[in-house]
A and B are shown apart, each in its own frame.
Chain A
Amino acid sequence: MFQNVLEKKDKKVILLGNEAIVRGALEAGVQFVSTYPGTPASEIGDTFYRLQDLYFEYSTNEKVALEAGIGASFSGLKTMVVMKDFGLNVCLDALFPFCYTGTKGPTVIVVADDPSCHSSAQSEQNTRGFAFLLHIPILEPSDSQECKDFVKFAFEISEKFKMPVLLRTTTRVNHQSGLVKLGKLASRSSLRRGDAGFVKDVNRFNTLPPRVLEMHKELLDKIEKIQEYSEKSKLNLVGGKAGRGLSSSKLGIITSGVSYLYVMEALKELKINLPILKLGFFYPLPERKIKNFIKPLKKVLIVEESEPFLEKEIKIFAKEVNCGLKVVGKELVPEIGELKPGIVAQAIAKFFGKKFNKLSVISNQLSVNRRPQLCQGCPYWLVFGAIKKAVKEKDVIFGGDIGCYMLAGVPPHNIQDYLFCMGSSIGIAHGIKKAVSGKQKLITFIGDSTFFHAGIPALINAVHNQSNPLIIIMDNKTTAMTGHQPHPGIKTDAAPIIKIEDVISACQVKNLKIIDPIKQNEFIQTIREFLKKDDVSVIIARRPCKFVK
């Protein structure tokens, strides 16, 4: 709960994982925060947005959010950048060199994965994999208390080694609430940006070759040092004899993140007592600690969500210290979808060779398939309705994009022939139109926030390379899907509003109309007219989301 975020030191309060991350940052004394919203990370930014003293911004997209953070770090500020998993893909281009240059002000990047894709189209991403490419330290908390504590550790590591540190969460960590014992808030005056200053350091902030290769070497050296630190860190914890009852010293479990909680619960339930290694560091792994843990074992079970990254690493370690060790992972723990306590209990029971009488669940024959729907009174009903009246659906290709309007792809609308990632509706539309030329018509939808995020370069490309999709901008005056955050086209504070129509005109789009979709006739006529054009056309469907006042 929001009130609890600012409670006094030593109090125990209930916090959502995302709120605990904010609290941790406030205790560490974060001064500069940037984000682009995305579930399951959105409440982190939304909570910062309500706070005073420190600097916070909703950036236009994750890449500029990170770049803003890099600038703040280079100027000496304690910095946090927050995003959902796909945001990391968008900002990778800036993150690689940032790992090379390292930080000046300590910097923590929070990235939230969403296994099972509860709130994500696109893909089931496992951000941990980037560790091997980026060489960025990754910490994985499992509950709210750890969310708070790990953020502070992350800032400490960043400060000590001058490296950005990535805090990787998953939906069940971000959206879990639990008790948190609070630490001391940093003083309010220390949060202000007062004494920030950019001190020139050409050798450090320029990644020009041949210096860049030296930097690569420096990065690997840092990681070696951080690994030493990881070996001793209490974030990697051996222990956890959860259940009283059967025990074995020949079997063990290695786990991390939310899976750890399921493991502990399962051991309690099964009344089994096993040695457990809980890893708070995903990268760099505490190799010696892991080797010591597995050395006396016959069998080890790796409980991790998604790809078996830990399993693969541990198989390599086992070859060096314990050839006979059987490393069990994905044969018992599914790779697709998030883990659940029951699944983990089942896996552990099998691993231990104990019968687990899974409570027989009577399957339910009646289907209840309630899909998400556009709200009653959503302006998008009017847009989709007009399209259905304006064209024969089978004759037109429909491009989708990311936002509430991707529900174009479900009944009763069913007008979405492809859906990828933010901004790609226009990019792909251009390719299709180039391929099929005049034979097939194409209409794409893109939201206002998504247009600013990644739509503009694609629009410029379509105009410059001369194709002719009809682009409908779903201008509902908010970033609705992720919790109604502002964007550059909306009045906030004293900032000038950037009008979508001005951007589009500046991109030399000649066929442009702004229509309130309540004017159905005009909308229908314009669709028909614009579909005949040989160059790019844009309709801005302007009507606020029903939650916008």
Chain B
Amino acid sequence: MVIVGTGGQGLITLLQILAEAAFSEGYDVKTSELHGLSQRGGSVEVHIRFGKKIYSPMVAQGSADLILGLEAQECLKAIYFANGKTIFLINKFLVPISGQKLLKQEEILKNLKKISKNIILIPAADICEKELGKNVVAGIYLICLACFKGLIPINPKSIFKAIEKIVPKKYLDLNIKTFYLAKHEK
């Protein structure tokens, strides 16, 4: 699975939660992340793979099962990892790129559809903003939703436990509310 977004969207926390949850279910797990310049508001792309025995921390070209896009335009870059069966789970959320025209949602979808028909667009940022007053938890919302819907083969209970373990106390309440929000939405 590949997660794409922009710096500051909390991708590394999502990765840690998923890794911890997958591990608690007995899977071997590896993740790959990037720090530094790549985080200064630029594109961010992180990988997680779990299964019986995992060698590579990185997803190979054309072999992602799920691509989670926290920002819609970034999904276009992740096409490299997609094949005809890849599921795109996309946050309906756009962060402008300086010096470039903002792409239209339809344009993005049209392009993604050329490679896979499995595209799920969710206004996660809006839902979280409306229900919780914060759109930063859109990522948490989407991974919870993906587990509830069976898009990620991890029991939501394991995700819940991993959230409790990893999210700092200060934000835990908000994250737990997000979990239940996703549960009701499913």
A and B together in one complex: yes
A interface with B by C-beta (< 8 Å): 1, 12, 14, 39-40, 42-43, 118-120, 143, 171-172, 175-179, 242, 258, 260-262, 264-266, 268-269, 340-342, 345, 358-375, 404, 407, 411-412, 481-483
Q: Please report the total number of B residues contacting A with Cβ < 8 Å.
A: 52
A359: B residues at CB distance < 8 A: 61-63, 83
Contact assessment for A1 and B166 in the assembled complex, using a CB-CB cutoff below 8 Å: yes
Contact assessment for B57 and A172 in the assembled complex, using a CB-CB cutoff below 8 Å: yes
Bound-complex Cα distance A269 to B49 (A) = 14
Contact assessment for B37 and A177 in the assembled complex, using a CB-CB cutoff below 8 Å: no
CB distance from A546 to the nearest CB of B (A): 12
Contact of B107 among A43, A177, A366 (CB under 8 A): A366
Known: A39-B35, A177-B33, A370-B97. A143 touches B40 (CB 8 A): no
Bound-complex Cα distance A369 to B56 (A) = 27
Contact assessment for A261 and B55 in the assembled complex, using a CB-CB cutoff below 8 Å: yes
Bound-complex Cα distance A360 to B103 (A) = 25
CB distance from A374 to the nearest CB of B (A): 7
Contact assessment for A369 and B32 in the assembled complex, using a CB-CB cutoff below 8 Å: no
Q: Which chain B residues numbered 36 to 94 have a C-beta less than 8 Å away from chain A?
A: 36-43, 54-63, 73-74, 76-77, 79-80, 82-83
Name the residue on A nearest B80 (C-beta). Answer: A361
A361: B residues at CB distance < 8 A: 61-62, 79-80, 82, 115
Contact assessment for A269 and B60 in the assembled complex, using a CB-CB cutoff below 8 Å: yes
Contact of A412 among B6, B23, B98 (CB under 8 A): B98
CB distance from B57 to the nearest CB of A (A): 4
Known: A341-B60, A370-B97. A264 touches B55 (CB 8 A): yes
CB distance from B96 to the nearest CB of A (A): 10
Contact assessment for A340 and B58 in the assembled complex, using a CB-CB cutoff below 8 Å: yes
A481: B residues at CB distance < 8 A: 36-37
Q: Which 9 A-B pairs have the closest CB atoms?
A: A119-B36, A359-B62, A342-B61, A39-B36, A341-B60, A372-B40, A372-B42, A265-B56, A264-B55
Bound-complex Cα distance A482 to B36 (A) = 6
Known: A261-B57, A366-B103, A369-B100. A179 touches B33 (CB 8 A): no
A175: B residues at CB distance < 8 A: 32-35
Name the residue on A nearest B112 (C-beta). Answer: A364
Known: A39-B37, A118-B37, A172-B57. A373 touches B32 (CB 8 A): no
CB distance from B32 to the nearest CB of A (A): 5
Contact assessment for A177 and B97 in the assembled complex, using a CB-CB cutoff below 8 Å: no
Bound-complex Cα distance A273 to B4 (A) = 34
Name the residue on B nearest A12 (C-beta). Answer: B23
Bound-complex Cα distance A241 to B65 (A) = 26
Q: Tell yes or no: B119 within 8 A of A by CB.
A: no
Contact of B29 among A178, A264, A269, A407 (CB under 8 A): A178
Contact assessment for B38 and A118 in the assembled complex, using a CB-CB cutoff below 8 Å: yes
B37: A residues at CB distance < 8 A: 39, 118-120, 372, 481
Bound-complex Cα distance A373 to B15 (A) = 23
Bound-complex Cα distance A444 to B115 (A) = 48
A375: B residues at CB distance < 8 A: 40-41
A258: B residues at CB distance < 8 A: 57
Of the candidates A1, A366, A368, the one having the most CB atoms from chain B within 10 angstroms of its own CB is: A368
B82: A residues at CB distance < 8 A: 361
A119: B residues at CB distance < 8 A: 34-38
Contact assessment for B42 and A358 in the assembled complex, using a CB-CB cutoff below 8 Å: no
B41: A residues at CB distance < 8 A: 370, 372-375
Contact of A176 among B6, B30, B100, B107 (CB under 8 A): B30
Q: Tell yes or no: B111 within 8 A of A by CB.
A: yes
Report B96-110 CB contacts with A as 1/0, cut-off 8 Å: 011110010001100
What would be 7 A-B contacts, judged by CB atoms less than 8 Å apart? A177-B15, A178-B28, A359-B61, A359-B83, A368-B43, A368-B74, A482-B36
Name the residue on A nearest B103 (C-beta). Answer: A366
Contact of A143 among B30, B60, B63, B99 (CB under 8 A): B30
Main secondary structure of the interface of A (DSSP, over half): loop
Bound-complex Cα distance A262 to B56 (A) = 5
A366: B residues at CB distance < 8 A: 76, 103, 107-108, 111
Bound-complex Cα distance A175 to B16 (A) = 12
Bound-complex Cα distance A172 to B49 (A) = 14
Bound-complex Cα distance A307 to B66 (A) = 34
Q: Tell yes or no: B184 within 8 A of A by CB.
A: no
B74: A residues at CB distance < 8 A: 368, 370
Bound-complex Cα distance A341 to B49 (A) = 13
B83: A residues at CB distance < 8 A: 359
Bound-complex Cα distance A179 to B99 (A) = 42
Bound-complex Cα distance A380 to B32 (A) = 31
Contact of B19 among A14, A260, A341 (CB under 8 A): A14
Name the residue on A nearest B82 (C-beta). Answer: A361
CB distance from A115 to the nearest CB of B (A): 13
Q: Tell yes or no: B130 within 8 A of A by CB.
A: no
Known: A179-B28, A362-B115, A372-B40. A411 touches B99 (CB 8 A): yes
Q: Tell yes or no: B170 within 8 A of A by CB.
A: no
Bound-complex Cα distance A39 to B6 (A) = 19
Q: Which chain B residues numbered 158 to 186 have a C-beta less than 8 Å away from chain A?
A: 166
Q: Tell yes or no: B9 within 8 A of A by CB.
A: no
A358: B residues at CB distance < 8 A: 61-62
Contact assessment for B43 and A177 in the assembled complex, using a CB-CB cutoff below 8 Å: no
A242: B residues at CB distance < 8 A: 55
Contact assessment for B35 and A42 in the assembled complex, using a CB-CB cutoff below 8 Å: yes
Of the candidates A12, A358, A361, the one having the most CB atoms from chain B within 10 angstroms of its own CB is: A361
B97: A residues at CB distance < 8 A: 368-370
Bound-complex Cα distance A35 to B76 (A) = 39
Known: A172-B32, A340-B61, A368-B97. A265 touches B79 (CB 8 A): no
4 more contacts with CB within 8 A, not counting A118-B38, A176-B30, A361-B115, are: A39-B36, A258-B57, A361-B61, A370-B6
Bound-complex Cα distance A120 to B99 (A) = 24
CB distance from A120 to the nearest CB of B (A): 8
Known: A119-B38, A340-B61, A361-B62. A370 touches B99 (CB 8 A): no
Contact assessment for B61 and A368 in the assembled complex, using a CB-CB cutoff below 8 Å: no
Name the residue on A nearest B15 (C-beta). Answer: A177
CB distance from A102 to the nearest CB of B (A): 34
Q: Tell yes or no: B7 within 8 A of A by CB.
A: yes
CB distance from B113 to the nearest CB of A (A): 10
B62: A residues at CB distance < 8 A: 342, 358-361
Contact of B40 among A42, A43, A365, A407 (CB under 8 A): A407
B80: A residues at CB distance < 8 A: 361
Contact of A341 among B58, B79, B114 (CB under 8 A): B58
CB distance from B1 to the nearest CB of A (A): 14
Contact assessment for B58 and A172 in the assembled complex, using a CB-CB cutoff below 8 Å: yes
Contact assessment for A177 and B57 in the assembled complex, using a CB-CB cutoff below 8 Å: yes
